[in-house]
Amino acid sequence: MWHGYWIALRRVPAFIVTLASMLAFRGAILGVTGGATVSPLASSFKSLGTDYVPPVPGAVIAVVVVVLCLVFSFRARLFALSAAALGFFAILLANEGIPYSVLLLLFIVILFEFISRRTVFGRHIYAIGGNCEAARLSGVNVRAREMLLFPLFGVIVAVSGVVMTARLNAATTSAGVNMELDAIAACVIGGTSLMGGEGSITGAIIGALIMSSLDNGMSLMNLDITYQYVIKGLILMLAVWADISTRRAR
């Protein structure tokens, strides 16, 4: 609501508001914790980020998801989606099972993909991103939509913070530092346009998987952290350049 107030009602650019809040909230975290790490955490809380669904329920969930993918893929003739879902769950079940955090991610992706693609609110958000003035002249209440949008962002960020804290089994003051750059790169790589009006939830998730794979790959190669930052920075710049070039070509 804090972000929505300044962006929707006071018309301060969203980038500035979120950047200022990032600095302010990090300072608040240092003040609340005194700069100390809070650990260990309750086992019930930790299970959200580290435990797995038992094998039998996990297999049932996998079958249901694959069947749903088959249904939707048959309609859209995107059978690769079903194959990818089947391979994904097969790998998980062959190891320790389906993590609770993955199920939570799938639920969020499905929910917000539906909201963005199948609801009036979602279409209005795309319209505002594409051309705010045109959306306003078309009768869209831009301020009301933006006021609702940023609390939704806050909920997603809160959930991700809970999962990350549970996975680490510790609340550290440095958690999440520089992840904002990974998030931007993931969205752009996944097809979201920085000019607005284009992109999808699933595309952003695919971009995040690519960035995570890149991080894991460089770590497994024991690549010096210096080069890791350079490579990720170049990828971000190239992704934005590709987005701008594509828009200009149209």
**Structure tokens, 145:** 């939509």
Q: What range defines the domain where residue 154 resides?
A: 2-51+99-177
Checking if the pLDDT of 249 tops 60, the result is: yes
Domain for residue 13, yes or no?
yes
Domain for residue 76, yes or no?
no
Query: How much is the average pLDDT of 151-162?
Result: 92
Please report the pLDDT score of residue 166 as a whole number.
93
Q: Which amino acid is at 224?
A: D
Please report the pLDDT score of residue 86 as a whole number.
78
Q: Band the pLDDT of 134: cuts 50, 70, 90.
A: very high
Q: Are 43 and 141 part of one and the same domain?
A: yes
Q: What is the DSSP letter of 170?
A: S
Checking if the pLDDT of 189 tops 70, the result is: yes
Q: Are 29 and 152 part of one and the same domain?
A: yes
Q: Which of 84-93, 180-189, 228-237 has the lowest mean pLDDT?
A: 84-93
pTM score > 0.75 for this model? yes
Q: Are 118 and 157 part of one and the same domain?
A: yes
Boundary (domain end) residue, out of 127, 152, 177: 177
Please report the pLDDT score of residue 75 as a whole number.
58
Please report the pLDDT score of residue 250 as a whole number.
65
Looking at the 3D structure of the chain, how many domains does it have?
A: 2
Q: Are 131 and 184 part of one and the same domain?
A: no
Tens of pLDDT, residue by residue over 66-79, are 777 777 655 555 66
Q: Are 84 and 66 in contact (CB under 8 A)?
A: no
Q: Band the pLDDT of 119: cuts 50, 70, 90.
A: very high
Domain for residue 151, yes or no?
yes
Q: Are 152 and 249 part of one and the same domain?
A: no
Checking if the pLDDT of 93 tops 60, the result is: yes
Domain for residue 72, yes or no?
no
**What b-and-e string marks burial along 157-176, b requiring 16 or more CB atoms within 10 Å of the CB?**
eebbeebbbbebeebbbeeb
Smallest CA-to-CA distance from 102 within 110, 39, 223 is with: 110
Percent of the residues in the chain that have a pLDDT greater than 90, as a whole number: 34
